[in-house]
Amino acid sequence: MKSLIMFAVTTGILLCGCSSTQIAQTSASSILAPALGLGGALAGSYAAEDEDEGTRLAATGAAAAGAFLLGQFIENGFKEEKAKEYKAGYDLGRSNSAKELYWLYQKLHQAEEGEITRSRVYELPVQYPDNGVKYVPSSISLSVTE
């Protein structure tokens, strides 16, 4: 009996110790609650070993349920932490891509050394629809750098 308990505890510690471990495409954090439930059941059974059958079953069930709920609580914390990390990485990636686009745009419009650039401004008249409603000003300025 003691060797079975030691085996269950050791297996639980090995399988549930790291949330990033993958076992058969199931993360170790998702098997934490069942492993804790099993460990709780074994602990409850061991604690009520000298009691009558009804007390032993009640202790085993209560310990298993309590340990399983504790495992669910811990798993939820893992999931929330992963979601926060994902959001932080996503925001950082968006920020970096916006910065890269800005500097690429700045470099594209920067004159090379010794290069002479000409800039012209064209005034384009705006045509209005037949009903006479004006959505934009009467002309639009378009700046062109050559």
Domain membership of residue 34 (yes or no) is yes
> What length does the chain have?
146
Q: How many CA atoms does the CB half-sphere of 55 hold within 13 Å?
A: 7
- Helix boundaries (H) for the chain: 2-16, 32-47, 53-108
Domain membership of residue 102 (yes or no) is yes
Q: Give me the helix-helix angle, 32-47 and 2-16, nearest 10°.
A: 160
User: What pLDDT digit, counting tens, does each position of 53-67 carry?
Assistant: 888 888 888 888 888
Domain membership of residue 88 (yes or no) is yes
The range of the structural domain enclosing residue 62 comes to: 2-108
- How far, rounded to the nearest angstrom, does the alpha carbon of residue 72 sit from its chain's CA centroid? 18
User: What pLDDT digit, counting tens, does each position of 5-52 carry?
Assistant: 666 666 666 555 554 455 555 565 677 778 888 788 888 878 888 888
Domain membership of residue 28 (yes or no) is yes
Question: What is the per-residue pLDDT for 20?
Answer: 47
Domain membership of residue 81 (yes or no) is yes
Token pair in block for residue 71? 């495992």
Split into its structural domains, the chain has a count of 1
Contact 67, 50 (CB under 8 A): no
Domain membership of residue 83 (yes or no) is yes
pTM: 0.42
Cα gap 83→39, rounded to integer Å? 28
User: What pLDDT digit, counting tens, does each position of 84-104 carry?
Assistant: 888 988 888 888 888 998 888
Cα gap 12→34, rounded to integer Å? 9
Cα gap 135→11, rounded to integer Å? 72
Q: Is the pLDDT of residue 125 over 80?
A: yes
Domain membership of residue 22 (yes or no) is yes
User: CA of 12: how far to CAs of 7, 9, 26, 64, in Å?
Assistant: 8, 5, 15, 14
